[in-house]
A = this chain, B = another copy of it.
Amino acid sequence: MKDRTAKDQPDSSKPSRRRFLKSGAVLAGVLGACADSGNVSDSGPRTLGDIPSPYGQRSTYEKSVRYTHLSDTPEAGPSRTPLQDSYGILTPSSLHFERHHSGVPTIDPSQHHLLIHGMVDRPLVFTMEEILRLPSVSRIHFIECSGNSGREWTTPEPTVQRTHGMLGCSEWTGVSLSLLLSEVGVQSEAKWIIAEGADGCKLHRSIPMEKAMDNIVIAYAQNGEAIRPEQGYPLRLVVPGWEGNTHVKWLRRIKAVDQPYMGREETSKYTDLMPDGKARQFTFVMEAKSVITFPSGRDKLPGPGFYEITGLAWSGRGLIKSVEISIDGGQSWQEAQFQEPRHPVALTRFRLPWRWEGQEVTLRSRCIDETGYVQPSREALIEARGLNTRYHYNGITAWRVSSDGSVQNAYA
């Protein structure tokens, strides 16, 4: 129904519908302004509609899509979730962001195997049927690429889909990695695991054994059905709270080893180059972060009146404890309301009623997680980390609403 995605597509000049009134009234005015019962009558057509279907599709009136800026090597790139069109805390699997390093492989689950080997007493290979028979767990978790918001360091982007869209939240179901590791008998010298995918580049990441024994899920289902191909069908890691790249997709192998492999994705990529020229490596945890999804960049408020400010907050370290919103450029902050219940390491929806008087304002959100960590300002983040990195940006985002109602990234 909302269709603000078009504004993000290259070369698109299609006007987008907005989710606000043509009139600019406050809440009571909004409701009083539209009393015209002539629009609904009892004399409508009584024709029969469509019959039940085996597998449903969305309405043809719905146009929201993932944002992709295709490069010369589109197999090694992302698509971004349309957060401006998001509701609640769940991301529809069809709109969940992607990040591939050599494209999406087509895998027949009857031919797929998972090998667990290395420094273990009993190396094992599992078929999908075997994995599906084992004790299962389900958890609602976010996944965020550590490159999400990467351009916010230096060249901020115009829309929330482009600034924060490498983010999604799903109910994941699978088997506890720790269960499988205890069954193969990990040897005491093994301090890391290497997780490897079945995609063209055999993407692999080194993960400390302590995390592997903690809460990692070998997932085969997302939001109640099999994981989608672009999310790793038939098997992926879900590594709660850690950067998306560690959630290895199309998982085919786990090897217990005594040291990290120093692969491409943990040396030349997914490291944070600091101002002194040294690089932070294995910066796994995604720290607390929030963003307002409405109003956000390229929205246009039709006039003064009532609006609901809403957005998302998340932390790789657990629960979001509070979200505060500033409508005066960061001078004062007020508490937003949450969609309850909150889940640890999951997207958390916040909302705040707001009456816009028509003046220029800048909207900011900042969150605090259960460890007491406060999402930093952009300035403080850059002060601490410099401008050499493209990863792990979690600074406060500021949306400037001009007096004509147009909304822009205040840092762009």
Q: A-side interface residues toward B, CB under 8 Å?
A: 1-2, 17-22, 27-28, 30-32, 34-37, 39-40, 42, 44-62, 64-66, 68, 70, 74-75, 77-79, 85-96, 98, 100, 102-110, 113-115, 117, 122-130, 132-138, 171-173, 180, 183-184, 198-202, 220-221, 223-226, 228-230, 233-234, 252-253, 306-308, 310, 339, 341, 343, 349, 351, 353
Q: Which of B60, B94, B113, B129 contacts A19, CB < 8 Å?
A: B129
Query: Smallest distance from the beta carbon of A195 to chain B beta carbons, Å?
Result: 13
| Given A135-B308, A136-B310, residue A52 in contact with residue B34 (CB < 8 A) | no
Q: Is the CB of B102 within 8 A of A138?
A: no
Query: Smallest distance from the beta carbon of A156 to chain B beta carbons, Å?
Result: 22
Q: Is the CB of B199 within 8 A of A49?
A: yes
Q: How many copies does the complex hold?
A: 2
Q: Is the CB of B49 within 8 A of A55?
A: no
| Given A48-B200, A201-B46, A252-B40, residue A225 in contact with residue B64 (CB < 8 A) | yes
| Given A1-B132, A36-B125, A37-B115, residue A55 in contact with residue B65 (CB < 8 A) | yes
Q: Which of B36, B53, B88 contacts A79, CB < 8 Å?
A: B53
| Given A133-B308, A226-B59, A252-B40, residue A98 in contact with residue B171 (CB < 8 A) | no
CA distance A9 to B282 in the complex (A): 51
Q: Is the CB of B115 within 8 A of A40?
A: yes
Scoring A46, A51, A100 by chain B CB atoms within 10 A of each residue's CB, the highest score goes to: A51
Q: Which of B42, B130, B230, B341 contacts A53, CB < 8 Å?
A: B230
Q: Is the CB of A19 within 8 A of B132?
A: yes
